[in-house]
A and B are shown apart, each in its own frame.
Chain A
Amino acid sequence: MERKEKHEKNSGWEQFLKSEFFYHYKKNVPAIIGSILVAIAIFIVVFGRFFAPQNPYDLTQIDLADSYLPPIWQDGGKAGFLLGTDAQGRDIFSAIIYGSASSMMIGLVGAMASCLIGTTLGLIAGYYGGKVDAFIMRVADVQLSFPSMLIALFIMSVFGRGVGKLLVALTMVGWVTYARTVRGETLSVKKMEYVEAARIIGLPNQKIILKHILPNVINSVIVLATIQVGSFILTEATLSFLGVGVPITKPSLGLLVKTGFDVLFSGLWWAAVFPGLYIMLIVFGINLLGDFLRDELNPNLK
């Protein structure tokens, strides 16, 4: 008994290490690079504020005398300000740490909410069919005929800046992808014999959906969600850059690039370059990982 328990404890992790999935992962250099980038980004989000030299959003810690300092390796750089400072004397390095936490949080929560709502609607539409299905899919069709950036831009311009509003806008834009994919896959899974069997023995619909259909569509959902976190980080940055995203007082990588843009022409390149570069690295990491997951979990997904 004891031996068996021990065996089971190990087997999960061991099985994973021996799995085809992990074998492919080990041989896939882009996937490894991607996961390292994502791991670093997550580490910075979680522990960043413990090693950030200052809190750039705490006005008492900023000194205007430190404004426009170049990065430390250039002439005029000052110790403690690794990547230089901006017009208010904020340390760019610290600002990136704080900004990335908020940008990644928005991307993650937005994608989770979209995933939850979209998958639920997709399951319902695919499983029950009929009028509900027709209604959900028509709404999706109408929405898909417009570029999502424009919809998000419009929603934000109507309701004004704010983190909560941004999340609502992202969710309103993001659910469609899941709903479409999940519905399509539900339709084909529904025809499988085991679903029919489950129905014949009288299992309630809810249980069939959760236990028999969801596990078969979850792979695509995981892939879509991974890629969407990246694209939402970009959308957040873009909207904040255009002035309709996160409020100016809140940390955001997009806003950092925007403030950097204002001084770019006077040659203060660092305030715009580093935050944008960091956005790119995070999203690049997520996309590399998403690409690998797609190839492994569902190669047919576009």
Chain B
Amino acid sequence: MIKYVIKRFAQMMAVLLIVSVLVFLMTNFIGDPVDMLVPEDATLEEIEAARIRLGLNKPLYVQYAIFLKSVLHGDFGKSYTYGLPAMGLIVERMPATLELVAVAAALVLLIAIPLGVYAGAYPKRALSKFIMSGSILGISLPSFWMGMMMIYIFAVIFRCLPASGRGDTIPVLGVQLSIFAPGGIRYIILPAVTLALTNTATMIRLTRSGILENMRQDYIKYARAKGVPAKALLFGHALKNALVPVITVFGLDLGNMVAFTTITETIFAWPGMGKLLIDAINKSDRPIIVAYLMAAACMFVVLNFIVDILYTLIDPRIELR
């Protein structure tokens, strides 16, 4: 087991290294940052000076070595637009994004698992078929459009929920959170529901197919023959086994949700790292893009690592390779 963990950890590091090379190479294609920095009437000397100040005159591999060294120190340079350290900006906005993802993830679990269990336990009922068709509809919805429609319905027509922003924040254990602030929950409802939508739909389908698959297994037949009541069969046996892959996929979906906050935050003007990224892309703010990607990459890789380890712990059938 320890050997497996070490091996996975080494793989994780290798992936991060590859990602750093790719990110570095590709960001070199994003428009010349010097153009964004110097005034429009800058002389050639001024441009050259800026180039040297940013280290853009050195050969590519030297630039990469410098890049890697500063990345390891958590230094991604200063944002061209804000003039502040890029990593600091990301970290500052991270609680807003994680708060949004956490609320959305809770919504996904609370809605998807009961509906999925129901649709899997009673696949022939009309309600189950309705849930399944509804979940296909959920997958087919463009989430950015759905967000807009909710803004239009709840903020423009009924004026009962705020259309954008995060409201006030209060510090909870040293982190600025809005959901515990008075009225804060009203701000998070629409973005969280938008973010949760697609994942809820996929999670319903996954839970259902897990339950269906388990209900066909021999151990369920034996339990039924033994006289175990239907409820205990469903919740005690089938659900427990069906949840293993569901939890795994859910763990990976958390990463997906972090990526989708770029859309949700743009629509709802939620001041998180996703909106920061989109703004940075539009302004060719290279340090922020790089810092975001590396932070996100770390998040995803660590998430994958944890899910993998947990999976082998939960499911003894998995071979350690």
- Where the two chains meet, the residues of A that have a C-beta atom closer than 8 Å to any C-beta of B are 30, 142, 145-147, 149-150, 153-155, 157-159, 230, 234, 237-238, 241-244, 254, 257, 260-261, 264-265, 267, 269, 272-273, 276, 279-280, 283-284, 286-288, 291, 302
Q: Are A145 and B301 in contact (CB under 8 A)?
A: yes
Given A145-B301, A147-B300, A153-B262: A234 in contact with B142 (beta carbons within 8 A): yes
Does the CB pair A154–B293 fall under 8 Å?
yes
Residues of chain B with a CB closer than 8 A to A257's CB: 142, 144-145, 148
Q: Which chain A residues border B300 with CB–CB below 8 Å?
A: 145-147
Cβ contacts under 8 Å, B282 to chain A: 243
Task: List A contacts of B143 (CB < 8 A).
Answer: 238
Contact yes or no, A284 B26, CB < 8 A: no
Chain A nearest CB from B13 CB (Å) reads: 12
Cβ of B145: which chain A residues have Cβ within 8 Å of it? 237, 257, 272, 276, 279-280
Shortest CB-to-CB span from A279 to chain B, Å, is 5
A101, B119: Cα distance in complex, Å: 36
1/0 per residue, CB under 8 A from A, across B283-303: the answer is 000000100010011001100
Question: Does B100 interact with chain A (Cβ within 8 Å)?
Answer: no
B301 touches A276 (CB 8 A): no
Q: Beyond A157-B281, A243-B282, A267-B156, is A284–B136 a contact (Cβ under 8 Å)?
A: yes
- Whether B70 sits at the interface, judged by CB under 8 Å, is no
Q: Does B109 contact A (CB under 8 A)?
A: no
A168 nearest CB across to chain B (Å): 13
- Report whether A242 and B259 are in contact in the complex, using a CB–CB cutoff of 8 Å: no
Q: Which of A154, A158, A254, A287 lies in contact with B139, CB distance below 8 A?
A: A287
B241 within 8 A of A: no
Contacting residues, chain A, for B162 (C-beta < 8 A): none
Q: Does B57 contact A (CB under 8 A)?
A: no
CB atoms of A237 and B142 under 8 A apart: yes
- A269–B137 touching, CB < 8 Å: no
Q: List 25 A-B contacts (CB under 8 A).
A: A142-B18, A145-B304, A146-B296, A147-B259, A147-B260, A147-B300, A154-B26, A155-B26, A234-B140, A234-B142, A238-B142, A241-B144, A242-B266, A242-B278, A254-B142, A261-B148, A265-B163, A269-B152, A273-B149, A276-B145, A276-B149, A280-B145, A283-B140, A286-B140, A291-B136
Given contacts A146-B300, A264-B156, contact A158 B142 (CB under 8 A): no
CA separation between A257 and B255, bound complex, in Å? 26
The list of the 10 closest CB pairs from A to B, nearest first, reads: A276-B145, A147-B259, A284-B140, A283-B140, A150-B259, A157-B281, A147-B256, A158-B26, A158-B29, A287-B136
Residues in B with CB closer than 8 Å to A286 are 140
**B136 touching A149, Cβ below 8 Å:** no
Whether B278 pairs with A280 at a CB distance below 8 angstroms is: no
In the complex, B10 has a CB within 8 A of chain A: no
Please determine whether B142 and A264 come into contact, CB atoms closer than 8 angstroms. Answer: no
* Closest residue on chain B to residue A277 by CB atoms: B145
Contact between chains at A30 and B163 (CB < 8 Å)? no
Q: In the docked arrangement, what's the CA distance between A243 and B214, Å?
A: 45
Cα–Cα, bound, A97→B151 (Å) = 26
| B27 at the A interface (CB under 8 A) | yes
Residues of B within 8 A of A244 (CB): 281
A238 near B301 (CB under 8 angstroms)?
Answer: no
Query: Distance (Å) between the CB of B272 and the closest chain A CB?
Result: 14
Give Cα distance in the complex from A146 to B295, angstroms: 12
| Measured CA separation A269–B296 after assembly (Å) | 35
B141 interface residue per 8 A CB criterion: yes
Residue B110 interfacial (CB < 8 Å): no
What chain B residues lie within 8 Å of A302 (beta carbons)? 206, 209
CA of A261 to CA of B240, assembled, Å: 44
From A159, A238, A254, A276, B29 is in contact (CB under 8 Å) with A159
The one of B15, B133, B293 in contact with A145, judged by C-beta atoms closer than 8 angstroms, is B15
Q: Which of B133, B163, B262 contacts A242 (CB 8 A)?
A: B262
A280-B142 contact given A157-B281, A291-B136, CB 8 Å threshold? yes
CA distance A104 to B297 in the complex (A): 31
Given contacts A142-B15, A145-B300, A150-B296, contact A280 B156 (CB under 8 A): no
